[in-house]
A and B are shown apart, each in its own frame.
Chain A
Amino acid sequence: SAVISQKPSRDICQRGTSLTIQCQVDSQVTMMFWYRQQPGQSLTLIATANQGSEATYESGFVIDKFPISRPNLTFSTLTVSNMSPEDSSIYLCSVHPRGAPAGKLFFGSGTQLSVL
């Protein structure tokens, strides 16, 4: 299993600013995933963060808008840059621990972002 601490839990930001979300895991994991959950909608994968290499972004998401850092095997950050009201969402960090069955992800509690 894995325990994930995600900060901040929520924030209200002004348009044009940036917010960095932190994700700390209590064990070393190879892959960390960042998801976006827009109001009333499903989870959409933004990117996969691998330690020691650049993140892999899904279609529709770009590094300039959502830069990701992965300095070690227990930590990652996601920055939402130059925010607009359309970025208002819940952002979720998740991991797939070594030895866990395929597809069994552990999630943080998310960051609820509101952009004014």
Chain B
Amino acid sequence: AQTVTQSQPEMSVQEAETVTLSCTYDTSENNYYLFWYKQPPSRQMILVIRQEAYKQQNATENRFSVNFQKAAKSFSLKISDSQLGDTAMYFCAFMRPSGTASKLTFGTGTRLQVTL
């Protein structure tokens, strides 16, 4: 079974600064997908960024980028120019290829607080 580990329960960053959230995972698969989801206080989960394991290039979405290290099974999220609206729980997630009907395995989350 796949496991996803987020070792930072809470983090804090000042507005406009950069923060990196860590995630490691364990799998015997060669092809898979990795995700970062954001859960703001409204509770509605939102996809932040998505990485396909067969792509070596790190995914980027505006201020959000990942550092995907396949051999190390590491998938960290970097948030640049942090904004107050980035305050949320961030969940790292793993998914086997699409034959498994979009079943995601989530980590335990990192609570990010962006301060003035």
- A residues engaging B (CB < 8 A)? 31, 33, 41-45, 48, 90, 92, 94, 96, 101-105, 107-110, 112
Contact = CB atoms under 8 A, between A and B. Distances in A.
B36 to A, nearest CB: 11
Interface stretch (B67-75, B79-87, B96-104): B96-104
Contacts of A96: 101-102
B101 A48 contact: yes
Interface of B: 33, 35, 42-47, 50, 91, 93, 95, 97-98, 101-104, 106-109
Contacts, number: 55
A108 B39 CA distance: 11
B102 A103 contact: yes
Contacts of A33: 102-103
A91 B35 CA distance: 20
Contacts of B35: 103
A82 B43 CA distance: 25
A41 B102 contact: no
B98 A94 contact: no
Contacts of B46: 107
B44 A102 contact: no
Contact of B50 (A94, A104, A107): A104
B5 to A, nearest CB: 11
A48 B91 contact: no
Contacts of B106: 42-44
A42 B47 contact: no
Nearest to A102: B98
Contact of A105 (B42, B47, B108, B109): B47
Given A96-B101, A105-B104, 11 more contacts: A41-B108, A43-B45, A43-B104, A43-B106, A90-B43, A92-B45, A102-B33, A102-B97, A102-B98, A103-B102, A109-B43
16 contacts: A31-B101, A43-B45, A43-B91, A44-B106, A45-B104, A96-B101, A96-B102, A102-B97, A102-B102, A103-B50, A103-B93, A103-B98, A103-B102, A104-B50, A107-B44, A109-B42
